[in-house]
Structure 1
Amino acid sequence: MSSKKLGVILYGPPAAGKDTVTRILAELHPRYGQFARLKIGSGRSVGYRMGTPAQLRELKAAGDVVYANSRYGNTYVLDRPALDAAFAAGVPVVHLGQLAGIRALDDGYPADWLVVLLWCPREVTAQRSAGRGDSDTAARLAAWDATREDLDVHPGTTWDLIVDTTATSPQDAARLVDQLLAQQAGAATA
């Protein structure tokens, strides 16, 4: 692995497979770990660092907020100290549903990011959300719509990999991500 910071961004609508692909990446190699965003609000806490409005104010005052967005009545934050810690531990896998987040990481945090679009149709998000017992499937479908609109409004995004998760198994998607990251690491040391 090169000395350059290498990270993975998994972008896509709710229930596209970000959690599943990340879990399989970690099984492939322990260097991968899901980046736990700071979450200010309520609801699901698994995969997040739960925080307070005071913590968010402190991060903002220190200039340590790389990106923040609001969805489902919560605020989700990518902060510099946690990103530093995640890179020190290995290869962070950041989950995003907004192209602005990709741009913020690319512009605001020095690393080589492998940017992956995981996609599934709206009806698949509805089925997967209901199948996993989400109590807010309607909000997740609204987020799917916002993600689709984001892609339509900003069509020039460059993807290192695009995966249709209805046609590609999570295992194959994870292997593709791992292979591309290895190639990127090799190119960085060449």
Structure 2
Amino acid sequence: MNPKQGVVLYGPPAAGKDTVTAALTKLHSKYAQFARLKVGTGKSAGYRMGTAEHLRELEAAGDVVYANARYGNTYAIDRPGVDAAFAAGVPVVHLGQVDGIRALVDGYPADWSVVLLWCPREVTEQRSAGRGDSDTAARLAAWDATREDLDAHPGTAWDLMVDTTASAPQDAARLIDQLLSQRAGAPQA
């Protein structure tokens, strides 16, 4: 029996994580974006909003696989949330930190396909402004942090790398789906 499969999309802000995930879900209903637990303010779409107390309870129970702070909020990948996502299909987890990838891959047993989505800094700026973000400067700072993160972890192994300025979201989704199909058919070690 093959282990459950999940997808990690890593990349800077506006690299196309949401857009590629939407293309994946359109390609096949088994895919669904993992809604991280968010403690803070601002955008709530795509997140499960929580309280600091709830996060502390999860931490005390050992159920926080990974948490990070950005844009004045805390974002967490929690074990009960990932369990529910796998029960529903193939979770697509968005991350912007290599440490988060390592924490998830090492801390939650599954067959994780790790995909690097990339775009240049100026494209992040154009896309952020084009979608009406009020915090484009913070997103550019996050782009810089993502570049530094990659430079600090040169040995990171990617199952797939996609330049989202050269590949349409539908093409990226097909490549990811093919990757998972190939991995599902491969003999397990």
TM-score range, shorter chain: over 0.9
Unaligned 5+ segments in structure 1 are: none
Aligned to 1:73: 72
Partner of 1:56: 55
CA RMSD of aligned residues (A): 1.1
1:45 aligns to what? 44
Q: Distance in 1 between matches of 2:77 and 2:16?
A: 20
Q: Which residue of 2 aligns with 1:25?
A: 24
Q: Equivalent residue of 2:155, what SS?
A: coil
1:180 lines up with 2:150 in the alignment: no
Q: Moved runs in structure 1, 4+ residues, more than 2 A? A: none
Q: Which amino acid aligns with 1:161?
A: L
CA distance in 2, matches of 1:7, 1:138: 31
Q: What secondary structure, in the 3-state scheme, does the structure 2 residue paired with 1:49 have?
A: strand
1:137 is displaced (CA, Å) by 0.2
After TM superposition, the score normalised by the length of structure 1 is 0.97
- Check the 8 A contact 1:4/1:188 in 2, yes or no: no
Q: Secondary structure at the match of 1:126?
A: helix
| Number of corresponding residues | 189
Q: Would you say the 8 A contact 1:5–1:87 is kept in 2?
A: yes
Name the aligned partner's letter for residue 127 of structure 1. Q
Q: Secondary structure at the match of 2:127?
A: helix
Q: Is the Cα–Cα contact under 8 Å of residues 120 and 165 in structure 1 kept in the other structure?
A: yes
Instruction: Return closer, same or farther for 1:188/1:30 CA change in 2, 3 Å cut-off.
Output: farther
The two structures have a TM-score, normalised by structure 2, of 0.98
Task: Tell me the distance in 1 between the aligned counterparts of 2:21 and 2:6.
Answer: 12
Distance 1:188 1:54, change over 3 A: farther
Distance in 2 of aligned mates of 1:185 and 1:83: 20
CA distance in 2, matches of 1:161, 1:178: 11
Q: Secondary structure at the match of 1:9?
A: strand
Match of 2:33 in 1: 34
* SS of residue matched to 2:94: strand
Question: In structure 2, what residue type is equivalent to 1:149?
Answer: E
| Offset of residue 187 of structure 1 | 1.2
In the TM superposition, what whole-angstrom CA distance separates every residue of 1:80-109 from its partner, at most 9, and x where no partner exists? 000000001100000000000000011100
The percentage of aligned residue pairs carrying the same residue is: 79
- 3-state DSSP class of the match of 2:186? helix
Which residue type is aligned with residue 104 of structure 1? A
| Deviation for aligned residue 1:188 | 4.9
Alpha-carbon distance between aligned partners in 2 of 1:162 and 1:177, rounded to the nearest angstrom: 10
**Structure 2: stretches of 5+ with no match in the other structure:** none
For 1:62 and 1:130, how far apart are their aligned partners in 2?
40
Matching residue of 1:115: 114
The answer for the alignment partner of 1:16 in structure 2 is: 15
Name the structure 2 match of 1:125.
Answer: 124
State how far apart, in whole Å, the 1-side matches of 2:101 and 2:32 are. 18
Secondary structure (helix, strand or coil) at the match of 1:163 reads strand
Quote the offset at 1:120 in angstroms: 0.1
Q: Distance in 2 between matches of 1:37 and 1:144?
A: 20
